[in-house]
Structure formats: C-alpha cells, structure tokens
Structure 1
Amino acid sequence: MITMKRGKLSAVLIFAAAMAACSEKEAQPSAEIPTEPVTLHFYAASNSVMLVEQVHEAVAKKFPHIKLKTTVDGGEVKIENMISAGQVPDLISYSLGGVTKLKDLQLVSDMTPLLQKHGFDLTRLADGVEQNVRSFSDFDGRFILMPYELNNNALFYNKTIFDKFGVAYPKDGMTWEGLLDVAKQVTRMDGGVQYKGFRFEETNMVFKNQLGLPYIDQKTLKAAVNTDGWKHWLETMTAFFAIPGNALNGQVSEKDEFVKEQTLAMRTGPNYMSELPAVTAKGGFDWDVVSLPRFKGFENKGSQFNAPYFVIPPTSKYKDQAFQVIDYILSDEMQTMMSRMGRLPIIKSEKAVSEFGTGVEGLRGKNVQAFFKDTIDSPVPATQYDTIAKTTLVRKGTRGIAVDRKDVNTALREIEDEVNKQIEAEKAK
C-alpha cells in the first residue's frame, strides 16, 4: 500500500482530475460546491508511482482544500480485500477489464447528478466515448464511469530490420491481410538470429474486437463465439504465427522481443511509447508507427472502446470533491499537459491532439498522429460474462491455434464449451 501526502500527486490522479473538467453544455451548476478541507481516499489500480505523484501535485495546487490519500494496488493490496476490510475509497481508477468486478462490488454510481451539478459538457469527449460509457451500465442510460485518456493502438515497426532486408516500411491504412505479406518479407534468419515479422498482444486485440463481434448472447447468456465472425477473426490474426520462423513464443513477451531483443519487426498492443525514447537514446533502435491495420472489407469499422477510467463509490461522503478532481483532469489544461507526455487525450481539443508527445524526448519526426486513426466503434452488447469469453478466446483461441496447433473449428468448439461451463459455475455461486 502506498499512502501519499498532499504534495505528491500521481499521474493516475492527474488523469482523474483532468476527467472531471468536462462540463455538460445544457446543464448549469445548481448548487454551491463544498470547499471545506477533506481527505479523499483514492485507489489506483495498476498505475505507475510517477503518475500518482503527478496527480497529487496537480490536485494540491488546484484544490488546496482536498488532501489525497492514495493506495496503489499490487501484491496483496486488492480492491476486493479493501472492501472486505470496510475500507471503501472515495475515488477509484481502474482498467476497463475490471468494470464487472467493480459493479459486483457495488463500487459504481450514476454520475448524472454530478455531471449536471458541475456543468460537465459530455460533448467534449472524443467521438464514441459517451455511447460506450453508457453501454457499461447495462444499457439503462446511466453514466457510471469517466474515462480519462484514450488507449488507442498503432502499429510499431523497427526501421532497422526493414532497412536490413530492403523491405518497404508499412503504411497508414493497411489491412491485416495486407500486413501478412509484409510480415512474411521480414521474417528471416540472418547471421544466426531469427527475425520475426509481426506479433500482437493477444488480450489487447481480443478486447479491441475490430469486427464488433458479441462475446455472449444477451438473451440466452450463452457463449456467442462459435460463429463465422470469430472464425474469420481467428483465422486472420493467427495466420501470422503460421509464417515459418514467426511462431508464437509463449515464454517471451512481444514487448521484450520488440524492445529488448529487437528481433521483432512489427508489433501492436498496449501503448508503451513513453518507454521507447530511452531505448532509442542508447543507440541502434530506429522505430516509427503507422495506423492500426483493419480487416479487409471492414476498413470503416473502428475498435471497441478500451480505456482506464474513474468511478465514485455510492458510499462516498465526498462525491462533489471527488468529481472536482475528475473534472480538473479532463480540463483542456490537464489533457494538453498529459498529451504532451504521450497520453492520448480523451477530449476533442485540437490543441491537446496536436501537442501529443511533444514533451517526450525522441518523438520528433515520429508519425504519432497515427494513434488518432484508431477510432472508437459502436459498443458490442455487453453482459456480466464477457470477460470469461474474452480471456478464453485468448487462451484457447489465439494461443490454442498458434501454440497448441489446433484447427480453428476445434478451438471454437472448445472455447464455446468452456465459456458456457464457466458461466454456469458463476450462476451457481
């Protein structure tokens, strides 16, 4: 557990504060916002200490009446353990994969009254964000969470490997089918070193679901994965691992293959762009990015929404103050600051978008605007069992085909069977 005084704001909190800055156009503040000194217990899931310190600093300067007491999860420090001990935070930052958990723990509340009271303008959010946020409340129209940055993907590539083999660099606007041919050209053995063409972080791409496929049937609450759509997705994405020399190594992460070993020509997954300049500074690592490829015939479909967010538990006595932090994190000021540091802004601000990455040394000349080409698609009908299907699609789908060498039809049948069994087990609890 990490507890921080007022002088240390985490980047996580900064995001939270920046989120709250959006004001709803049609609504006007209807009551005076409390300014008496309070201590907010903030729980940050899987966020760096550096970000937490930055948030603390920003909130301390903007709101001297708000003191942040921050707990960062990790090890035995988990949100469910805190709730069991009767320690319910006033503000929580969490990953999108944990929405169901927070709902089950009754840690989410409808922010609509706070949006109205603080004059929060939802139209400032990036296209598709509001629609997707509302979908997480079981489509009953509530606004239960506030994302504070986008988590868009791009395709990173190692220019040195492409130059080594005389292959043209990938371009913006490619399809996965077109990328397959490129990956084949840069998958080679040279000087005793196996260079691989392409790898993706499987969980990230399954969650992004660019074909907009349902995971669970909303009516029957049964697996909706043994379909032509998911078959097409798996066949397309696992075709890369069938390239001789490009087999999936389950023991080494794609991040290590790309950054540490520098034997991977192309990769996509979570954005760790902020880490690359330090590697580049050591010399010998020349990289760039292009837009995330899409499926042939579905070039106009974006990705499913995937972003970190804030929630305010219904039991908090300081909802107004917690929302003040969120509102500030979503202000033009804070979003632009975070954008300069390589965090994709969640708002439509042209300034914030244009200054993306300008504060990170080593990004000059990089095609960083490629991240903004990964647009947000309409939400897939969600259920409380989606995470079961998503994780099983990774374990028995991409890895089942790429590592265990199962054919796609067998993999889909096994995924369907296991997902349905897990759902029944959950219902029986």
Structure 2
Amino acid sequence: MFARRLKIYVIIGIAAVMAGCSGGSPKPSSQADEAPQGKVEVSTEPVTLSFFMEGNASVLADQIQELVSKKFPHIKLNTTVSGKVKIDDFIGAGQVPDLISFSLGGVTKLKELGLVTDLTPLIKKHGFDLTRLAAGVEETVRSFSDYDGRFILMPFELNNNALFFNKTIFDKFGTPYPKDGMTWEGLLDTAKQVTRMDAGVQYKGFRFEETNLVFKNQLGLAFVDPKTQKAAVNTDGWKRWLDTMTAFHAIPGNALNTKVSEKDEFLKEQILAMRTGPNYMSELPAAASKGGFDWDVVSLPDFKGFEGKGSQFNAPYYVIPPTSKYKDQAFQVIDYMMSEEVQAIMSRKGRLPIVKSDKAKNEFGAGIEGLNGKNLQAFFKDTVAKPAPATLYDTIAKTTLVTKGIRGIAVEGKDTNTALRETEEEINKQIEAVKAASK
C-alpha cells in the first residue's frame, strides 16, 4: 500500500512541476500579463467533477452543490467531505480530485502532495479580475507559492476576527463593555474585572482559540527563516506576543482549561465573558434563545504600536490539481463562487465576503436571526496585513507554538524564555525529520 501511494504521489508531483515549470522556470507575472481577457466559451458537455472538501467550510457542501447545479446544469459535483476519509487516503486510493476546498493550515500538505498548480493561465483565460479581491489578499496568496510568486490557490471568503463578549456577565458585575479599537494590553485590565467567582460559579474574563490567533500573527513575525530553513521563533517579537497573550491565563480564576474549548465555555457553559477565534455566527442565536445570554462584538484588539496593521491572512480556499482533465469547468465553479451574487448569498449566512462589493458586504449576517443591533461592522475592521515570509515548514512551527509555547507557559508553568527555546528546538527537530523522510 505504501509503495502504491508513493508512486501516486510521485506521478502527481511530476505533473505539478510540469504544470508550474513548462517552458522554463516561471517568473512573477506582471499586471499586464494577467489582465483579464474576457469570458471564453467552455464546453457544455456533461462532466462530473470530483470535489474534495476539508475545513470549516465543509458545512457549505449542500449549498454549493445546489448553486452549481442551477448555474451549470452540465456540471455535476461528486463531493467528498473530509471526515473519516482524509485527503491522504483519498489520494492514496488513486482518487485525485478535480477541485479541492481546504483550510489554510493545510496548504503545505497540498503542496507536498502535488495538488496545487499555478492558476494564472485560467485566470487570464476566463477573464477573472484579481483586483476584485479584498486588499492584501493577492499579495498574501503569492507569498504561499513555490513558483516565484504565482497564484496557486483562490481564497473564497475572509476569516476576519472580532472580539465577542457576553453582555450578561458584564452587566452582572457592573463592568463597562469593551470597545472598538482596544489593544491587547488594554484588554487585560477589562478581563481582570470580569474574572470573578459568583454564587459558586467561576466566571472567566477572556480566552482565545490558540491556533487561530497564532496563524493570524498580528505582529507579522516569521515562523521559519526562509534562507536557513530553521525556526525563527526564539525572538523578542515572539516573546512579546507570548508574554501579552499568556498574561490573560495568569489572571487568578482565568487559567487555561484545555479539556474544554473556548467555544463551549462561551456558548454552552456561558461562563466566559470574552472570546475570539473562528467565527460561528450561525450558532449564536440558538445560544441566546435559551435566555440569559446577550452578546455583541467589537473589533479585534491590536498590539500597542501595531494599531490598524491588520492580521495575517487565514482563510479557506480552492485549488485545482494539475492532473484534472476538467480545469476549465473547475475554474468556472470557482469563478461563480467568487461572483458578487454568490458572495452576497454567503454573506447573508455570516460568511465574510472576500470581494470588493458593497452589496455583498451589506448583506453580512442578514439571513441570521437575532443579529439586529449587533456591531457587525467590527468584523470588517480586521484587515489583511502584509504577509510574513512563508516557508514549507510554517505549519509545523505554528502548531508547535501552541503546544510548546502557549501551553508550555499557561499549562506547564514555564517561563517565556524556556518555552521559546524548547519550541524552537522542537520545530527544528520536526523540520529535520521531514527533510530526512523526503530523501
């Protein structure tokens, strides 16, 4: 079985290299090179596209199927949603998709499996205008490429963060609500005020979803040095990041409980006053309907001195594997999903539009009950920052910063310097293991 999978991976990898390197080593395309040429005629012969979905956008599978079938009656999506079947298993069984939807944390995996290719020819052929994308998105996408800044994936929604807060807890303790434009340093005092024991219940001030905030890295710090391919986290910048974010867990009564998610503490137990991380807008009305849970949002806090700089891009995306026989049809699907029409539909469901469209933006959350009067514009204040240097090993570094860095300090009680040293050592150890396995 291993030999079979290895053979398949090699074939896919060769196809990806040929697709990316045909005609010599590709160079970054100029804006003129990528000027849209207008729509082209694509065959309307019936085709079935194998579509693999992984990540939190998988809940959209049925809706995407419905939208595509109405728009393109000749295109059938044979959709596999990741669960028991992972992308490695799918590819290992010889089933290479025509279209993939994946989370940003998995971009390294798709590159290793040879499942990405430069979309520039399809972008030109189908007249897709990249200037439609929100500010900062195109630059970030190009930073993920091993093909000299080519466009290897198409993000289909923003994953902007906001700070959610439970107004009921703030009212209980007579504490002023958080506001737009706060800094993390300033939020610490607010968190202390609402971390209290009351009637035998320990209320917590603030918690963040660790992986999400590490990926968003508001200080724009590198994870791995692109020149040396060594960890770059034992730095003053990352020390500041960890000191600031783990200070919340050091508040008496606000210790990090890794056995319960921040989502459950906020929505189900309703003991968490403030939280940030992935947005689960559609689940909030149900929690509020039970009574005693009134909520709102403000903009994601910034680090002092980095106000308005934005966060690192972290969003789901589409890729078209180089071996697909139906690249034009797959790109038709992508193009339609990026249209103002579909972006507005998704926006109504609480999915932040990634295109520059006031219509789509104004529809945000309109299809979700219970959002009237909420400060929804807070989501649009979290902009896309200039991308940090990207490498093949960033995912290793990011996950290790959570397990060895944040939890090393917040759970194991290590000092920041020790946690960072051990984090860097572990990252380098894993990088060397990956390199050895690929030889």
TM-score of Structure 1 vs Structure 2, range by shorter chain: over 0.9
Distance 1:217 1:49, change over 3 A: closer
2:65 maps to which of 37, 42, 56: 56
The 5 A counterparts of 1:233-312 are 233-312=241-320
Matched, 1:66 2:75: yes
How far has the Cα of 1:87 moved from its partner?
0.5
The 5 A counterparts of 1:189-208 are 189-208=197-216
1:332 paired residue number = 340
C-alpha separation between the residues in 2 aligned to 1:189 and 1:216?
42
1:38 maps to which of 30, 42, 47: 47
2:14 paired residue number = none
Amino acid at match of 2:65: H
Residues 278-301 of structure 1: CA distance to partner in whole angstroms, max 9, x if unpaired?
111222210000000000011132
- Please give the root-mean-square deviation of Cα atoms over the aligned residues, in Å: 1.3
Matched, 1:359 2:367: yes
1:416 maps to which of 406, 420, 424: 424
Residues 111-170 of structure 1: CA distance to partner in whole angstroms, max 9, x if unpaired?
111101110010010000000011110371211100110011000000000000000000
State the secondary structure of the residue aligned to 1:242. coil
Matched, 1:27 2:47: no
Residues 330-374 of structure 1: CA distance to partner in whole angstroms, max 9, x if unpaired?
101000111011000010101111120011001111111100100
How far has the Cα of 1:31 moved from its partner?
4.5
Residues 88-126 of structure 1: CA distance to partner in whole angstroms, max 9, x if unpaired?
010000000000100110001111111011100100100
1:88 paired residue number = 96
Amino acid at match of 1:224: A
1:10 paired residue number = none
Moved >3 Å (runs of 4+) = 46-50
For structure 1, the 5+ residue unaligned runs are 1-23
Amino acid at match of 1:202: E
1:370 maps to which of 368, 378, 398: 378
Distance 1:105 1:30, change over 3 A: same
The 5 A counterparts of 1:4-15 are none
Given that 1:138 and 1:382 are in contact with CA atoms closer than 8 Å, whether structure 2 keeps it comes out as no
Distance 1:325 1:297, change over 3 A: same
1:16 paired residue number = none
C-alpha separation between the residues in 2 aligned to 1:42 and 1:189?
50
Corresponding pairs, count? 405
1:135 paired residue number = 143
Residues 241-288 of structure 1: CA distance to partner in whole angstroms, max 9, x if unpaired?
111111111111101110001000000001111110111122221000
Distance 1:195 1:139, change over 3 A: farther
1:217 paired residue number = 225
C-alpha separation between the residues in 1 aligned to 2:38 and 2:205?
54
C-alpha separation between the residues in 2 aligned to 1:333 and 1:409?
50
Given that 1:25 and 1:123 are in contact with CA atoms closer than 8 Å, whether structure 2 keeps it comes out as no
For structure 2, the 5+ residue unaligned runs are 1-32
Given that 1:144 and 1:311 are in contact with CA atoms closer than 8 Å, whether structure 2 keeps it comes out as yes
State the secondary structure of the residue aligned to 1:298. coil
C-alpha separation between the residues in 2 aligned to 1:179 and 1:31?
52
C-alpha separation between the residues in 1 aligned to 2:298 and 2:208?
14
State the secondary structure of the residue aligned to 1:177. helix
1:381 paired residue number = 389
Distance 1:404 1:288, change over 3 A: same
Matched, 1:78 2:64: no
Amino acid at match of 2:44: T
Given that 2:53 and 2:81 are in contact with CA atoms closer than 8 Å, whether structure 1 keeps it comes out as yes
In terms of mean alpha carbon deviation, does 41-50 or 279-288 score higher?
41-50
1:158 paired residue number = 166
Given that 1:155 and 1:290 are in contact with CA atoms closer than 8 Å, whether structure 2 keeps it comes out as yes
Amino acid at match of 2:221: L
State the secondary structure of the residue aligned to 1:266. strand
C-alpha separation between the residues in 2 aligned to 1:247 and 1:308?
31
Q: TM-score, normalised by structure 1?
A: 0.93
C-alpha separation between the residues in 1 aligned to 2:426 and 2:55?
29
Given that 2:34 and 2:124 are in contact with CA atoms closer than 8 Å, whether structure 1 keeps it comes out as no
